[in-house]
Amino acid sequence: MEEVHVSTHPLVLHKLALLRNELTEPKKFRELVREIAQLLFYEATQDLPLAPLTVQTPLAPAQGYAVADRVGVIPILRAGLGMAEAVVEILPTMHVWHLGLYRDHETLQPVTYYNKLPAEPDIDISIIVDPMLATGGSAVAAVDILKRWGAKQIKFLGLIAAPEGVQLLRTAHPDVAIYLAAIDSHLNERGYIVPGLGDAGDRQFGTG
Ligand code: PRP
Ligand code: URA
């Protein structure tokens, strides 16, 4: 069983409070999503394998390292887009494969409307990014799709989760490590995380 990592980093906690604030405008909200995603990505990539290499500095050869595995980021549209753009800035060699899922407002079940994965897996590690892990339905569906595709090592990177979502994802896919900034109290009757931050897609894109 992989672990659930909830960040205790002061910068993450500081930025998370700003992100939750209902007065935070979309421009600032997007900026905070990017920054927190980068900090969590740093934590989620601590175990990436390295290959040694030599580079030439202006003075002498120096021993260095390169990330050895091919890493892919899979944003769940649309709210995962800002997180994907942020982590690609840190590791520009990453492949980005988009998955379009939305929650049906009545049933809360995920509906797949877009899948841009290539025919064969071309990455060693798949990192799903989506700010909200609420019922967990979307995350479980995304992992199902990746496993059917042939992905071997999968991680989930989110900002805020409900206990229900963590439980569902862990039960369905115990081999997926989960990285979060917070686990909140509960889901309300409409499937929103409480206290959460509201609708992550609407707040990033100024809709709703
Ligand atoms: C949100 C969020 C997750 C999903 C989480 O997306 O970004 O993908 O809900 O809920 P779940 O854990 O209960 O499945 P939404 O359906 O609002 O789509 P959007 O990103 O296009 O706004
Ligand atoms: N999706 C969101 O954007 N927010 C929630 O609280 C739950 C699902």
pLDDT (tens digit, 9 = 90+) per residue, 22-66?
999 999 999 999 999 999 999 999 999 999 999 999 999 999 999
Residue having the nearest C-alpha atom to atom 3 of ligand 1: 132
- 190 annotated among ligand-binding-site residues: no
C-alpha–C-alpha distance, residues 89 and 142, integer Å: 23
Residue having the nearest C-alpha atom to atom 8 of ligand 1: 138
Residue having the nearest C-alpha atom to atom 3 of ligand 2: 199
User: What is the arithmetic mean of pLDDT over 147-175?
Assistant: 97
- 64 annotated among ligand-binding-site residues: no
Beta strands in the chain (DSSP E): 4-6, 50-56, 61-67, 71-77, 95-96, 99-103, 110-115, 125-129, 132-133, 153-157, 160-161, 177-180, 182-183, 186-187, 193-194
Nearest to 99 by CA among 82, 110, 109, 113: 113
Q: Is the pLDDT of residue 116 over 90?
A: no
CATH fold of 4-48+65-205: Rossmann fold (3.40.50)
- Nearest ligand 2 atom to the CA of 194 is 6
* Residue of 81, 193, 204 with the most ligand 2 atoms within 8 Å of its CB, for mutation: 193
- 203 annotated among ligand-binding-site residues: no
Peptide bond into 78 cis (omega under 30): yes
All structural domains of the chain with their residue ranges: 4-48+65-205
Percentage of the chain surpassing pLDDT 70? Answer: 100
Q: Is the pLDDT of residue 2 over 90?
A: no
Residue having the nearest C-alpha atom to atom 5 of ligand 2: 192
pLDDT at 195: 98
Residue having the nearest C-alpha atom to atom 13 of ligand 1: 135
Q: Which amino acid is at 89?
A: E
- ipTM > 0.95 (yes/no): yes
pLDDT at 208: 79
75 lines ligand 1 (CB under 6 A): no
From the CA of 130, the nearest ligand is 1
User: What is the arithmetic mean of pLDDT over 74-86?
Assistant: 96
Q: Is the pLDDT of residue 90 over 90?
A: yes
Residue 95 CB neighbour total at 10 angstroms: 15
C-alpha–C-alpha distance, residues 161 and 11, integer Å: 18
- Nearest ligand 1 atom to the CA of 103 is 16
Q: Is the pLDDT of residue 111 over 90?
A: yes
pLDDT at 63: 98
Q: Is the pLDDT of residue 94 over 90?
A: yes
- 136 annotated among ligand-binding-site residues: yes
C-alpha–C-alpha distance, residues 87 and 191, integer Å: 28
Q: Is the pLDDT of residue 96 over 90?
A: yes
Residue 177 CB neighbour total at 10 angstroms: 18
The band of 95, judged by pLDDT with boundaries at 50, 70 and 90, is: very high
